[in-house]
């Protein structure tokens, strides 16, 4: 649907450099990244709002380089929504019908029904609540019957409960109209909740593009892993490789088995890699069951814990291996499970790192990695 | 707040003091004399024309300055302020010298007569106000985020449509206030006007020029009356306009 290639755009000392970026038809693509990573610029480029950027873009099969925004049929909802304050809600959502012949009114009717903004139509936009404004902005964008919709952090300023209902609404609209959506977000949870595809962007470069949650479970670079809040990141050497598994030689942990997925296959024996595991993906094994043979089983003492509302984050210092420092693992459990498993300071716990929950990051993949 | 009251009170006292000195026994007679009525009408009409001309040039210029970067922008921006820096008489003199040049004469031959004529008044008032108009309008446009136009364009509007249907209406209040200010400044303009258009009674004698004429004829009563007329006209129009805008913005809520 949207195909960007060889995009280079420079603002001051910042360079947006995207060799290739694609949003497929009917895909909800989340562009995830920290503040100042260039995600909004990429959105503006797609919308046609960066006329001086070098690059080439195809929209729905049409080479659109140099096409002004009004010719692209791509709706854009900026972060502040930019509802026109001089127009009523009704005039706002019907704005595109002034310029585009279409079956607009019928679509508009459907949109009004789905989003439930009927009672707002006569109002001035300044008198709307945050959630109402979001709905109106979405309807206005969709009423133009765009080929794709660009959303810039649309839900970032909303109360969590309201956000959830708007996520649902967006998903519903996405399915109903088979929309192609490119949405910018800095919120991991939002990206995981909404994205069919998630691209991670940082420092003006798209570092990873993956389907659904893969970017979360298999980050391919350290900056992605760190953005997702990984604390369990370790360095190790690849000891051996067979069809199903990689075995890493880690100074602190000893041997670590990692399930070989398609991604890890090009790793060679002797390579130095990073490996890691999400704090929520660590399995706590009850003492009576530690005799069942399993790989990557470790024991350690809980040395600290933080109560973070409904879950608990515990730090576990593993048993020392001769000639190495004690490795530290961070694990996160729902509060009730932590209580049941007696995860309290000073307690001995047994942890398993399931091979299919581990990921590895090869060195030097950070730079060139847009996929 | 207190300082505002002080300033307002000071002006009222100042105007009031003139009443003590002047003998206004034939107030109505002078007020409705053809000469004063002519000056009043001339002033209002020329100030209005000057205001619209200043907007016609000022709006696009200010919009360009607020939206686009181009080489020499700062220089252009500064030059546009020249009328604010130059004293009005100097400005009028520059205009007069230009109009006496070959180009100026040709312009008057085939276009409008300016020197000692009514169009000269409008020209002088326009030159004296257009710089301020651009300055104020630029601020007005800068307060409307370009994002509104961007969104309008993704919804199918051309740049012109986005400007006329979104940005200008959004800037409407600011443009209106600027227009009022420019009008008031043009109404009181003296130096440039008298230099270009002279001070002929029943021809180019605007209210400020009439005041000057009355003073130089040592006719204090007349001068005071004209001052009151000028002040009341200006204050009345500005006040009415403010009330209208206030009502409109209440309606919008």
How close B171 gets to chain A, by Cα (Å)? 10
For B237, counting Cβ atoms within 10 Å of its Cβ (0-12 exposed, 13-18 middle, 19+ buried), the class is middle
For B75, counting Cβ atoms within 10 Å of its Cβ (0-12 exposed, 13-18 middle, 19+ buried), the class is exposed
pLDDT the model gives residue A88: 92
Identify which of B107, B128, B105 has the alpha carbon closest to the alpha carbon of residue B50. B128
Relative to beta strand A254-259, strand A245-250 is antiparallel
* Cβ contact B156–A100 (<8 Å): yes
Cβ under 8 Å to A: B residues 188-247: none
Relative to beta strand A348-352, strand A283-285 is antiparallel
Identify which of A17, A369, A327 has the alpha carbon closest to the alpha carbon of residue A225. A369
Q: Which residue has the tokens 């001068």?
A: B223
Cβ under 8 Å to A: B residues 36-65: none
* Cβ contact A82–B153 (<8 Å): no
Relative to beta strand A28-32, strand A148-152 is unpaired
pLDDT the model gives residue B19: 76
**Above 90 in pLDDT, residue A345?**
no
**Above 90 in pLDDT, residue B141?**
yes
Least confident of A280-284, B29-33, B155-159: B29-33
Question: pLDDT tier at A263 (50, 70, 90 boundaries)?
Answer: low
Spell out which residues of chain B touch residue A128, defining contact as CB-CB under 8 Å: none
Relative to beta strand A28-32, strand A181-185 is parallel
State how far the Cα of B143 lies from the Cα of A298, in Å rounded to an integer. Answer: 62
**Above 80 in pLDDT, residue A68?**
yes
Q: How far apart are the first and last CA of chain B?
A: 27
Q: Is B155 on the interface with A (CB under 8 A)?
A: yes
Q: Give chain B's mean pLDDT.
A: 87
B165: which 2 tokens? Answer: 């249907």
* Cβ contact B158–A70 (<8 Å): yes
Least confident of A144-153, A234-243, B40-49, B57-66: A234-243
How close A206 gets to chain B, by Cα (Å)? 25
* Cβ contact A74–B154 (<8 Å): yes
Residue in B with minimal Cα distance to A46: B154
| Average pLDDT score over residue span A195-218 | 87
Cβ under 8 Å to B: A residues 130-159: 140-141, 144, 146, 150
CATH number among 3.40.50.2000, 1.10.3720.10, 1.10.8.60, 1.10.1740.10, domain B24-252: 1.10.3720.10
Indicate the residue of A49, A95, A146 with minimum beta-carbon distance to B150. A49
A60: which 2 tokens? Answer: 């729905």
User: Would you give the distance in Å from CA B60 to the centre of its chain?
Assistant: 18
Identify which of A17, A10, A103, A7 has the alpha carbon closest to the alpha carbon of residue A64. A7
How close A299 gets to chain B, by Cα (Å)? 57
How close A175 gets to chain B, by Cα (Å)? 22
* Cβ contact B147–A80 (<8 Å): yes
Indicate the residue of A48, A77, A99 with minimum beta-carbon distance to B157. A99
Question: pLDDT tier at A61 (50, 70, 90 boundaries)?
Answer: confident
Q: Is A52 on the interface with B (CB under 8 A)?
A: no
* Cβ contact B147–A98 (<8 Å): no
Q: Is A12 on the interface with B (CB under 8 A)?
A: no
State how far the Cα of A68 lies from the Cα of A349, in Å rounded to an integer. Answer: 62
Give tens-digit pLDDT for A300-326.
889 988 888 788 889 998 886 676 778
Give tens-digit pLDDT for B41-75.
999 999 999 999 999 999 999 999 998 888 888 88
Interface test with B, best of A47, A85, A99 (most B CBs within 10 A): A99
State how far the Cα of A357 lies from the Cα of B32, in Å rounded to an integer. Answer: 96
**Above 90 in pLDDT, residue B24?**
no
Cβ under 8 Å to A: B residues 159-178: 159, 161, 165-166, 169-170, 172
Name the percent of chain B lying above pLDDT 90: 42
Q: Is A51 on the interface with B (CB under 8 A)?
A: no
Identify which of A58, A66, A50, A64 has the alpha carbon closest to the alpha carbon of residue A16. A50
Interface test with A, best of B151, B166, B175 (most A CBs within 10 A): B151
* Cβ contact A69–B150 (<8 Å): yes
Q: Give chain A's mean pLDDT.
A: 85
| Average pLDDT score over residue span B229-247 | 82
* Cβ contact A74–B165 (<8 Å): no
* Cβ contact B155–A95 (<8 Å): yes
Indicate the residue of B148, B154, B169 with minimum beta-carbon distance to A69. B154
How close A207 gets to chain B, by Cα (Å)? 28
Spell out which residues of chain B touch residue A141, defining contact as CB-CB under 8 Å: 155
pLDDT the model gives residue A43: 92
Identify which of B220, B210, B36, B54 has the alpha carbon closest to the alpha carbon of residue B123. B54
Q: Is A6 helix (H, G, I), strand (E, B) or coil?
A: strand
pLDDT the model gives residue A292: 82
Spell out which residues of chain B touch residue A86, defining contact as CB-CB under 8 Å: 166, 169-170, 172
pLDDT the model gives residue A102: 65
Residue in B with minimal Cα distance to A94: B155
B73: which 2 tokens? Answer: 């922008």
B247: which 2 tokens? Answer: 């009502």
pLDDT the model gives residue A104: 66
Strand-pair partners of A22: A3
Sheet holding A311-318, edge to edge: A283-285, A348-352, A297-308, A311-318, A328-334
pLDDT the model gives residue A156: 79
Neighbours of A174 (CB within 10 A): 19
How close A94 gets to chain B, by Cα (Å)? 10
pLDDT the model gives residue A103: 64
A155: which 2 tokens? Answer: 């839900």
Name the percent of chain B lying above pLDDT 70: 97
How close B130 gets to chain A, by Cα (Å)? 27
Q: Is B158 on the interface with A (CB under 8 A)?
A: yes
Residue in B with minimal Cα distance to A69: B154
pLDDT the model gives residue A246: 85
């Amino acid at each position: 649907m949207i195909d960007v290639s060889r995009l280079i755009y420079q603002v001051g000392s910042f360079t947006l450099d995207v060799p290739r970026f694609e949003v497929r038809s009917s895909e909800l693509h989340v562009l995830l990244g920290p503040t100042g990573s260039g995600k909004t610029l990429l959105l503006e480029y797609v919308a046609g709002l960066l006329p001086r950027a070098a690059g080439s873009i195809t929209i729905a099969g049409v080479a659109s380089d140099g096409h002004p925004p009004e010719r692209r049929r791509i709706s854009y909802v900026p972060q502040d929504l930019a509802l026109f304050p001089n127009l009523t809600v009704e005039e706002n959502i019907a704005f595109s019908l002034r310029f585009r012949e279409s079956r607009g009114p019928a679509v508009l009717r459907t949109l009004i029904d789905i989003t439930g903004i009927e009672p707002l139509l006569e109002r001035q936009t300044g008198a709307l609540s945050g959630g109402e404004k979001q709905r109106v902005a979405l309807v206005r964008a969709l009423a133009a019957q765009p080929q794709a919709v660009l959303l810039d952090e649309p839900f970032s300023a909303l109360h969590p409960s309201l956000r959830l209902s708007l996520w649902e609404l967006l998903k519903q609209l996405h399915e109903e109209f088979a929309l192609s959506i490119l949405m910018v977000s800095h919120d991991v949870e939002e990206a995981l909740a909404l994205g069919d595809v998630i691209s991670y962007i940082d420092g003006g470069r798209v570092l990873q593009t993956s389907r659904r949650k893969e970017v979360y479970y298999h980050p391919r670079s350290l900056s992605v892993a760190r953005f997702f809040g990984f604390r369990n990141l370790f360095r190790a050497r690849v000891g051996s490789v067979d069809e199903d598994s990689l075995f890493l030689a880690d100074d602190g942990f000893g041997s670590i088995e990692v399930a070989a997925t398609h991604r890890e296959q090009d790793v060679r024996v002797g390579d130095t890699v990073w490996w890691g595991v999400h704090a929520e993906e660590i399995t706590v094994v009850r003492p009576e069951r530690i005799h069942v043979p399993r790989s990557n089983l470790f024991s350690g003492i809980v040395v600290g814990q933080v109560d973070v509302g409904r879950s608990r984050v515990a730090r576990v210092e593993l048993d020392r291996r001769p000639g190495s420092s004690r490795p530290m693992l961070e694990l996160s459990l729902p509060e009730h499970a932590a209580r049941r498993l007696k995860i309290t300071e000073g307690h001995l716990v047994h942890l398993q790192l399931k091979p299919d929950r581990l990921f590895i990051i090869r060195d030097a993949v950070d730079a060139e990695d847009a996929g | 707040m207190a300082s505002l009251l002080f300033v307002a009170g000071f002006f009222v006292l100042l105007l009031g003091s003139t009443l003590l000195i002047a003998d206004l026994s034939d107030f109505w007679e002078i007020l409705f004399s053809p000469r004063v009525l002519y000056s009043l009408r001339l002033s209002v009409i020329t100030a209005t024309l000057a205001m619209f001309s200043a907007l016609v040039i000022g709006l696009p210029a200010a919009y360009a300055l607020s939206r686009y970067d181009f080489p020499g922008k700062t220089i252009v921006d500064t030059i546009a302020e020249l009328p604010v820096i130059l004293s009005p008489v100097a400005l009028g003199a520059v205009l007069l010298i230009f109009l006496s040049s070959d180009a100026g004469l040709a312009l008057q031959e085939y276009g409008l007569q300016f020197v000692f004529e009514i169009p000269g008044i409008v020209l002088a008032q326009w030159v004296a106000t257009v710089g301020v108009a651009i300055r104020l309008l630029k601020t007005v446009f800068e307060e409307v985020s370009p994002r509104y136009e961007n969104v309008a364009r993704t919804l199918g509007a051309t740049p012109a449509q986005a400007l006329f249907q979104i940005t200008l209406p959004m800037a409407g209040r600011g443009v209106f206030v600027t227009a009022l200010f420019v009008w008031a400044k043009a109404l009181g303009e003296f130096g440039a006007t008298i230099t270009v258009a002279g001070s002929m009674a029943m021809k180019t004698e605007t209210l400020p020029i009439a005041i000057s004429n009355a003073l130089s004829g040592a006719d204090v009563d007349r001068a005071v009356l004209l001052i009151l007329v000028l002040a009341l006209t200006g204050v009345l129009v500005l006040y009415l306009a403010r009330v209208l805008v206030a009502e409109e913005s209440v309606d919008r809520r």
